[in-house]
Structure 1
Amino acid sequence: MKKTRTLIYVIISIIVLSALLFILVNVNQNKKEADGTSEQIIESFEQVTDIQVFASENVTLTKKKQGWQVVDAENEVDTDKMESFLLAMEEMTGEAVEVDKKNVNLDFPKVTVSFADTEGNTQKISVGQMNGQGDRYYVEQLEKEKIYLVDRSSIETIPLKRTALLDTKILTISAEDVTGMEIDNGTEVIQLSKESPYSEKESLAHLSGWYMHEPYQNVYSVAFSKMQEMVVGIDKLEQVETVNGEGDYGFTDSDFSIEFSNGQKQEKLIVGDPAANNQYYVQIDGKQEVYKLPTKLLDPYSHQAYDMIDRFVHIVSLNVIDELSIKTPEDKVTYTMEHEETNAEEVKTTVFHEGEELNTESFRDGYKQLAGLTFDEAYNGEAVEEEPEVTITYLITDENNEITKNTIEFSSISDTHYAIMKNNNNQIDFTVQKDKLHQALEWMIQAES
């Protein structure tokens, strides 16, 4: 029994010592990496005139009087991409570490970059694997025979293909100057524009600043997140490659196209058949070139109209309303508002009912329920002849000191839903649940009291 207990103690001691040894080795290794002072990787970069990248595709850059050029490039150089790469190489620093090359994939590196000057002097770096934290790469400077840890942001500017430094944008219209889009997805034509049918005061609550004019009969504000994806996505529409060869590529029978406009010109992107590697064939209408484009770049434009819009029945800031009237089968109530600009350039609003001042903050809480009321379904039924059960009217003095009136009418089409009509036009796009509207109105009444 005593021998067994002694053996157990010995085994436990060995395990503890092994664990301590493992910790000490790793701490020592980390200390070696952390203790390395930052060193410049490429010296006298301003003298470099030729750069070669040996990777999945060899990329050769040469410095001429007009600037850096990509040898055998099919497109113009993207100056922003080129400058980012050159600056990253010029400012690249690293911390020297003591590691075995084969342990960090530097015995047979997949990426090597050579820098040469006019006198034939050459400096080379090879890129290995990332460190354990995933924030730096192991990089060998071959002439110095030293290995460094280099920030990944510098290394990931290295072009592995010629196209990585070229202007591969398919459109000449940019995110900065686009003012309209028309998306034909085969089932509906969606027309988007920065042209607003509302006054500036009414538009304050429309965050994206974009409006959907088709396919619905009324105009609706586009949701900020969806519109942001589409606008930002314009500058990301870059080709993977130009396709050489004859063929239709599905353009004749295409059921997906996007037309972009900037007020002066239009460019229509036609999407054809799927290509390999999760890509699509695309073409600009009227041009011969055919490109391959990653599918994910088309995703922002692939939503249905209903999924793009803000679904508010009618949203407007309380701080711009002069009068709000609500008519129901039981009653009609009218609220008036007075607005005063404060020294902090904020608006102080006071609400009255029948000449009596209300608690504005309580009323504002109730009004949020009405302003945030959303519709539920698209309406595909016939015109509604019945008189509306509920009518809400907004009066606003616009920036031209003119009175703007918006009337929202709710007509019963079933036991559970109202059809929504705006400004007496009898054009119905959507419906709202009766319970949702009734609850919002109840909040208003409670807030008044």
Structure 2
Amino acid sequence: MTMKKSKIIGITVAIIVISMILTIVMNMRASSDKEETVEHVELFTDLGEIQAFRVLANEKVEATKIKNSWEVDGIEQKLEAEKLDALIHTIRNLKGKEVAIARKDVHLDFPNVTVELTDDDGNTQSFSVGQLNNNQTKYYVEHRETQTIYLVDRQYIETIPLKPSDLMDQRLVTIPINELVEIVIFNGTEEIVLKRDAPYTKEEKIAHISGWYMWKPYEGIYSVTFQAMEEIYQGIPELKLSNVVQDDTETGIEESDFHITFRSKTEEETLFIGNPAKNNHYYISREDNNETMTINTELLEPFSKQSFDMIDKFMHIVALEVTKDIKIKTSQKTYHLEIEQQNDGLAITLNNQEIEDNAFKKVYPYLAGLTFDTYVGNQTTNSNNAEIEIAYTIETEEKGELTERIALIPINNESYLIQKETGASEFSIRKEKIEETFKQLDNLLK
């Protein structure tokens, strides 16, 4: 009887404890939900356009807007205008959730950072930054004039520059990406010349997805892969210095055999990369600047590839939508693909036999996707020795019909040399790729 009574009491106590825990959890959730739904309000409501700001931290940062540009005390180097404008916009439009808390409890009685903003009418307002909240997502911030404390997202507060050098333009390339027309990379073993333009009609360019072409080191002009150019495009804004070198370290800049030149129609900027530095960095310098800096090695990777790894390796790049016909001639057989663009799709014949649109689209990638395998150097050959001849004809607005003829000349038992009528003969393709393409074309004729 006593044991049963003890069990009942134990169960009752457990239920009470569980109920209390659930109540606390629910209250915490309710409190959290309430906190998230509290309106975030602007810290500054009576300020006009900001003309000056001052940051008081371990170092003092003072910036003044003169006409449409900013000047920062103690900084003679160029400032990153977009960064400054974004910073001012962020600070001017800070929002937070008002909280009731003692200044001394969140380190606002002796703050480490205070920011003063002055507008075009000379009005000044300021705020101080205290400590992070418990979950490290927001700072306690006090609007000094109203003595109101807010919780403000840390991502906005951490944009505040704490020293003048934080506002320096640390980009090593300042030419806007959309204005670049040429990039020249000399990596010590080869000179790679990339250009935005090539001597092709607009119809020929349709299938060149990246819109950039490699003019060197090869004799021919080849399309740069989309991935290679995407990495370069993303990499250029990230080319930023890490530190300025103050000592006489052997940097290797003067003997540099690795340099990159960026050109627009009106500007040119060259970077010289020297010896490896500490902590996975390289020494680097701009042509127009005597300072030697360091840069993270990873930032140089998009510009450190070999030329062969940067080009589209298609034997011939042509868009199906502008292709009129393709003729393939061997000693044993001939294929003649005729393609007509119609409103409801393609009308296709192969050796005068009508081919279904869907069936053709499954086979066409074998022909259009023929890729070369090896660089064999520019060779002088006789097209009379060709085992296979392929002619691609397209329709252009500028020049009417254009035909590109390609001769495949055997150089050994496994490979053909690709000899283009309008280009160099410098790459080979494995014979098995051509044979597989013929098999697919034969399947269409069955």
After TM superposition, is the score higher than 0.5? yes
The answer as to whether partners of 2:98 and 2:150 remain within 8 angstroms in 1 is yes
> Structure 2 residue aligned with 1:441, among 438, 441, 445?
438
Task: Classify 1:24/1:153 alpha carbon distance in 2 versus 1 (closer, same or farther; 3 Å).
Answer: same
Q: Matched residues in 2 for 1:235 and 1:197: separation?
A: 29
- What residue is the counterpart of 1:123 in the other structure? 126
Say what the alpha-carbon RMSD is for the aligned residues. Answer: 3.7
- What residue is the counterpart of 1:137 in the other structure? 138
Task: Classify 1:185/1:2 alpha carbon distance in 2 versus 1 (closer, same or farther; 3 Å).
Answer: farther
- What residue is the counterpart of 1:60 in the other structure? 62
> Structure 2 residue aligned with 1:217, among 199, 202, 219?
219
The answer as to whether partners of 1:55 and 1:160 remain within 8 angstroms in 2 is yes
Letter in 1 for 2:211: G
SS at match of 2:359: helix
Letter in 2 for 1:420: I
Letter in 2 for 1:75: Q
The answer as to whether partners of 1:212 and 1:222 remain within 8 angstroms in 2 is yes
Q: Matched residues in 2 for 1:357 and 1:440: separation?
A: 19
SS at match of 2:210: coil
SS at match of 2:90: helix
Q: Matched residues in 1 for 2:285 and 2:127: separation?
A: 40
Task: Classify 1:263/1:14 alpha carbon distance in 2 versus 1 (closer, same or farther; 3 Å).
Answer: same
The answer as to whether partners of 2:54 and 2:117 remain within 8 angstroms in 1 is yes
**Mean Cα displacement is larger for which, 30-39 or 84-93?**
30-39
The answer as to whether partners of 1:89 and 1:154 remain within 8 angstroms in 2 is yes
**Mean Cα displacement is larger for which, 58-67 or 265-274?**
58-67
Letter in 2 for 1:351: I
Task: Classify 1:173/1:47 alpha carbon distance in 2 versus 1 (closer, same or farther; 3 Å).
Answer: closer
The answer as to whether partners of 1:313 and 1:373 remain within 8 angstroms in 2 is yes
Q: Matched residues in 2 for 1:196 and 1:93: separation?
A: 51
* TM-aligned CA deviation for residue 356 of structure 1: 4.4
* TM-aligned CA deviation for residue 295 of structure 1: 3.3
Task: Classify 1:304/1:19 alpha carbon distance in 2 versus 1 (closer, same or farther; 3 Å).
Answer: farther
List aligned pairs for 1:375-386, cutoff 5 A.
375-379=372-376
Task: Classify 1:30/1:198 alpha carbon distance in 2 versus 1 (closer, same or farther; 3 Å).
Answer: same
* TM-aligned CA deviation for residue 101 of structure 1: 7.9
> Structure 2 residue aligned with 1:351, among 328, 348, 351?
348
Identical pairs, percent: 31
Q: Matched residues in 1 for 2:404 and 2:38: separation?
A: 69
SS at match of 1:176: helix
1:113 aligns with 2:110: no
Letter in 1 for 2:394: I
Q: Show CA shifts across 1:104-132 (max 9, x none).
A: 88788765434467989652231543785
Letter in 2 for 1:256: F
Q: Matched residues in 2 for 1:354 and 1:65: separation?
A: 72
SS at match of 2:48: helix
List aligned pairs for 1:278-317, cutoff 5 A.
278-285=280-287, 287-317=289-319
List aligned pairs for 1:315-326, cutoff 5 A.
315-326=317-328
SS at match of 1:192: strand
- What residue is the counterpart of 1:237 in the other structure? 239
SS at match of 2:178: coil
SS at match of 1:46: coil
Q: Show CA shifts across 1:298-336 (max 9, x none).
A: 222122212211222222112212220122353111122
* TM-aligned CA deviation for residue 294 of structure 1: 3.6
- What residue is the counterpart of 1:422 in the other structure? 420
SS at match of 2:202: coil
Q: Show CA shifts across 1:194-219 (max 9, x none).
A: 22133221210001111112222322
1:406 aligns with 2:404: yes
For normalisation by structure 2, the TM-score amounts to 0.83
1:89 aligns with 2:86: no
* TM-aligned CA deviation for residue 179 of structure 1: 0.8
Task: Classify 1:323/1:31 alpha carbon distance in 2 versus 1 (closer, same or farther; 3 Å).
Answer: closer
> Structure 2 residue aligned with 1:372, among 330, 352, 369?
369
**Mean Cα displacement is larger for which, 261-270 or 207-216?**
261-270
**Mean Cα displacement is larger for which, 286-295 or 253-262?**
286-295
Q: Matched residues in 2 for 1:188 and 1:210: separation?
A: 18
* Equivalent residues, number: 441
**Mean Cα displacement is larger for which, 365-374 or 227-236?**
227-236
Task: Classify 1:4/1:293 alpha carbon distance in 2 versus 1 (closer, same or farther; 3 Å).
Answer: same
1:258 aligns with 2:256: no
**Mean Cα displacement is larger for which, 214-223 or 73-82?**
73-82
SS at match of 1:45: coil
Q: Show CA shifts across 1:50-87 (max 9, x none).
A: 53324565422245566643211122333322221212
Q: Show CA shifts across 1:419-442 (max 9, x none).
A: 43322867222x333333322332
Q: Show CA shifts across 1:132-173 (max 9, x none).
A: 5x8x52332153554433345533432234244333433453
Q: Show CA shifts across 1:29-65 (max 9, x none).
A: 3134224222221343338665332456542224556
Q: Which runs of 5+ in 2 are unaligned?
A: none
- What residue is the counterpart of 1:167 in the other structure? 169
For normalisation by structure 1, the TM-score amounts to 0.82
